[in-house]
Structure 1
Amino acid sequence: MIVDSQKMKSARDRKALTQEDLANKARVNVRTIQRAEGGAPIRHETLADIAAVLGMPVSGLLGRGNHEELGEPKTPWEAEMQVLKRVESGEAVVSGLERAVMSVLGCSAEPNAENMPVLRSAIKLIESLMPSPWDEEFCAPLTFGSLLDRLEAVANLNGCLVELEGAGLALYLAVSTELVHVPRRSDEGLYVRSGQRPEYVSAVRLHISDYGSDRVRLDPVEKWPLETFGDDDKVPF
């Protein structure tokens, strides 16, 4: 995806961040920031991480010429839908969840006697890697106790993708930035305090569907683990 260089530089200046500062906070290489501000295309997932740090939605950084990347919507109704890309490696899922404050998993595949064992196995595996922002023991974002644990998770997901494809199914993924109240940790547990300002965070949407094109369009998520606010919403403080 191609960002609007001026929008990105202005947003970075408002946060008083150097390119190096932004790269560190978004956990990307400084060259990625330099290329993005120079007009080079970057991955949507990377842009979502950058947008979250800058405190704005991905759409606030986009330049013109991104329709081909996302797939040109044919109707106004399609323009409101979210584009998810087919997952080709377990690494894409793990790296996304390692940055996400919240995630959701959906399925539109019709279950039957033949594909249900594959669906059951895939959903159990994926859900085991999806921390909840309200779970003190397994709180988002996803972390691993060791490199071996991470490699095993990626390997298990790769095997899961093969099984899904064999059943005529596929896993799709989208990363977005959402405006939410992020729970804070205290000795008494997780909480959202009165007067707390909402923040833009990275969010991952995963969806199992019939194997078809490289992209699917879905209606926006109705319910995230955290309440979300639109840019024009009156946020309760």
Structure 2
Amino acid sequence: MRLDPAKLKQARTRAAMSQERLARRCELSRKSIQRAELGETVRPETAALVAAALGVALDEIRLAAGGAEAGGERPEQRLTLRRAKSGTRVFETLAQSYAGRIGCDVEASGETIGPLTGLVASLGRLVADAWGRGPMIPPDLPMVDRLRIIAELNDALRALERHGIGCFIGHYYRYVVAGRGAVQAPGDAPGGPVMLARIQLSDCPRDALQVTIDQQWSSQREGAAAPPAFGDDERFVFLESRPPLTPALEDTAGEVIEGAFSVRVA
């Protein structure tokens, strides 16, 4: 991957960093920073860490294929959400999701407020708003509890469908890069992807809709006392996965996003 020399130097100047300071912040050698500022090819992890240290999105300083500037030209990445017709599918998606976002574009009324808030409450108990703690549904959840949750979801979905409102769900992946570029992830599979869910309640009559994917996530809920267990270095960036890295659900076709790195400073 190559970075735009002029944009990189401008970002470093705005951040009031010398090459040496930027290298220390990234835990890289000064030579790596010099190569990047000369427009030479660097590792994607290096480019992502540099962008994170400067507090900019990587797309703002990277060069697209052929050397054209990528900043501002790359369209927003969009994720296709499928209409959930089964509580089982919602449950299985959230059981593998480290975090999720729930949105609603329905104009609530007296008739719909009950079903809407009922489903949102059910979903809120199953998905976290920060990925550092892993899925909220334990893998050893007893079958009886699993069946009860699925039944509750099915009832809520059908109640909304009677009002022409659908629950649309999809998922995508991020890898976490910390420290010297090592890929990390919570759970029992170091280096594995963090699966993220998107849920949208909408009165769209179709069986699918598209949303802009979330570029930034926190590893910790606001107000939480304990930090995520990723060691002393809490700086990290998300790397987008390139399929097929690790299988998750069987119906992931078209829902795994390819593209450039996205960054977030912890």
Give TM-score scaled by structure 2 length.
0.48
CA contact (8 A) 1:103 1:224 kept: no
1:118 and 1:164 map into 2 onto residues whose CA distance is 6
1:105 and 1:88 map into 2 onto residues whose CA distance is 17
C-alpha root-mean-square deviation of aligned residues, in Å? 2.9
What displacement does 1:235 show? 7.8
Whichever of the two has the greater Rg, that structure is: 2
For 1:142, the equivalent position in structure 2 comes to 137
Q: Secondary structure at the match of 2:121?
A: helix
Percent identity between the two aligned chains: 20
- Which residue identity does 2:196 align to in structure 1? A
Summarize the Cα distance change of 1:133–1:221 in structure 2 as closer, same or farther, 3 Å threshold: closer
For 1:88, the equivalent position in structure 2 comes to 85
Q: What does 1:89-108 align with in structure 2 at a 5 Å threshold?
A: 89-108=86-105
Matched, 1:206 2:216: no
CA contact (8 A) 2:81 2:168 kept: yes
Give 5+ residue unaligned stretches, structure 1.
1-75, 182-192
Matched, 1:173 2:183: no
Q: Secondary structure at the match of 1:88?
A: coil
How many matched pairs? Answer: 147
CA contact (8 A) 1:229 1:235 kept: no
Q: Identify the match of residue 155 of structure 1 among 151, 155, 166.
A: 151
1:114 and 1:179 map into 2 onto residues whose CA distance is 42
1:234 and 1:127 map into 2 onto residues whose CA distance is 26
Summarize the Cα distance change of 1:225–1:163 in structure 2 as closer, same or farther, 3 Å threshold: farther
Summarize the Cα distance change of 1:236–1:133 in structure 2 as closer, same or farther, 3 Å threshold: closer
What displacement does 1:214 show? 0.5
Deviations 1:155-206 (A, max 9, x none): 110101101101221100112112335xxxxxxxxxxx75553453222211
Summarize the Cα distance change of 1:208–1:118 in structure 2 as closer, same or farther, 3 Å threshold: same
Give TM-score scaled by structure 1 length.
0.53
Deviations 1:32-75 (A, max 9, x none): xxxxxxxxxxxxxxxxxxxxxxxxxxxxxxxxxxxxxxxxxxxx
Q: Which has the higher helix share?
A: 1
Deviations 1:11-36 (A, max 9, x none): xxxxxxxxxxxxxxxxxxxxxxxxxx
